[in-house]
Amino acid sequence: MEKPEKIAPPKGKLGILTPGMGAVSTTFMAGVELVRRGKSQPVGSVTQLGTIRLGKRTDGRSPLVKKFVPLAELKDLTFGGWDIFSDNAYQSAANAGVLNLQDLAKVKTFLSGIKPMKAAFDRDYVKLLDGPNIKKGKNKYELALKIKEDIANYRKSSRVSRLVMCWCGSTEVFVKPEEVHSTPEKFVEAMKSNHPAIAPSMLYAWAAITSGVPFANGAPNLTVDIPAIQELAQEHSVPICGKDFKTGQTLMKTILAPGFKARMLGLDGWFSTNILGNRDGEVLEDPGSFKTKEESKLSVLEYILQPKLYPMLYGKMHHKVRINYYPPRGDNKEGWDNIDIFGWLGYPMQIKVDFLCRDSILAAPLVLDLVLFLDLAQRAGMKGIQEWLSFYFKSPMTAPGLYPEHDLFIQSMKLKNTLRWMMGEDLITHLGQEYYD
């Protein structure tokens, strides 16, 4: 990919569209408005609080990311979305129970004005949910066209100059790549024939990309990990990224596992269990949806630890993941890990991690960063898979045939070096020999 000659300025409003207006998206919307009003701080957001070192360590140049690259400002963001329930964003946020009533009261009027459009939904793909706010159509192609109409209507009514879409909906049942995903033409024919390999999330991705709207996939669904959609992203000059927000337990794995590997400590086993009581937990009670999530969570250690390169240390590791729906916890998920490692002379050791996290609190700033970075990428003329945004995902997208990089610290370096590259600054390798010449 060629370095951008010029990055278009972020003029006008940026519309954020979220398929799914549940816990994650309403926490994101409410949070942005609270920050805009000076009532809170955007903790967890690299675009808002992060800095980036430029040049040598001795140069003392470390501007805020948002001052270094031309990102859209929070004051210019508007919000819309789709959901199977007709509750407005305030009602949905209150039902989700992530934010306390005092914080919600501060943005009640704002959130109450955000009403979901009817969703393209099929219970065959999310078996344990149902709702009344659903589009009707004779086939999936007709539903996708209606989503395109929604996008066009929102663009006009909100008077936005640009749009970004971020999937914040539920985990769908496991779908394998098939021939119908191979080309845009076959994909359209599959939509017209209601082929079962075309999941609802794919309809949103197709509608967004063919409307020139960047798309981020926050769930482990296949969605944009197919040749047809990736080809369309190139044709329409649209950046895409995914998949599955990296929030709680997997975030900890991508922090800890690189440390074990760096110190050449062995791993016998890693047992992970989760309890959560939000809509995500309810959906994952279905084995088909859990299979999709399990595939996303299990791949992390294989790629970080590279057992084929280090068979003695990681060749026999046992990696298990469990997710249990437990309503009393609501959105306050508990991720418990038992890690069996071994060190010098093979002597065993154990590490226990009990992360009592708040899933949507961790996900909301990821949504913010992703939509701002995707908008930046499009204004810079970047299109197709944006691997530099792997930092935010459990199962990062890559070019065909290329294995994904899961190490959080390598991902962070890649992200910041991409920003340096975009702005014509020297990349930082951390070699540091110049200080000793």
Amino acid at 105: A
Encode burial over 66-99: b for 16+ CB neighbours within 10 A, e otherwise.
Answer: bebbbbbebebbbbbbbbbbebbbbbbbbebbbb
Q: What is the structure's pLDDT at 216? A: 98
Q: What is the structure's pLDDT at 27? A: 98
| DSSP, res 226 | S
Task: Return the structure tokens found at 256.
Answer: 């800890």
Q: What is the structure's pLDDT at 371? A: 98
- What is the separation of C-alpha 365 from the centre of its chain, rounded to a whole number of angstroms? 10
| DSSP, res 43 | T
Q: What is the structure's pLDDT at 296? A: 65
What are the angstrom distances between the C-alpha of 305 and each of 73, 258, 298, 299?
A: 39, 7, 12, 10
Q: Are the C-beta atoms of residues 382 and 8 closer than 8 Å to each other? A: no
3-state SS track over 296-358: HHHHHHHHHHCCCCCHHHHCCCEEEEEEEECHHHCCCCEEEEEEEEECHHHCEEEEEEEEECC
Task: Return the structure tokens found at 297.
Answer: 């969570």
Ranges under pLDDT 70 in the chain: 1, 292-293, 296-297
Task: Return the structure tokens found at 436.
Answer: 């000793």
User: At CA 163, angle to CA 181 and CA 93, rounded to 5?
Assistant: 95
Amino acid at 265: L
User: Torsion angle, CA of 27/31/32/36, rounded to 10 degrees?
Assistant: 160
Share of the chain above pLDDT 70, in %: 99
User: Torsion angle, CA of 221/235/375/422, rounded to 10 degrees?
Assistant: 110
Task: Return the structure tokens found at 282.
Answer: 């309810």
List, in order, residues 6 or more apart from 37 with CB less than 8 Å away: 106, 107
Q: What is the structure's pLDDT at 297? A: 67
Q: Are the C-beta atoms of residues 213 and 196 closer than 8 Å to each other? A: no
Task: Return the structure tokens found at 70.
Answer: 């031309």
Strand partners, 134: 119
* pLDDT, tens digit, 9 for 90 and up, residues 326-340: 889 888 889 999 999
Place of tokens 């999530």: 293
What are the angstrom distances between the C-alpha of 107 and each of 117, 136, 168, 172?
A: 21, 33, 21, 31
* pLDDT, tens digit, 9 for 90 and up, residues 75-102: 999 999 999 999 999 999 999 999 999 9
Q: Residue 340 and residue 338: Cα distance in Å, rounded?
A: 7
Q: Residue 391 and residue 254: Cα distance in Å, rounded?
A: 10
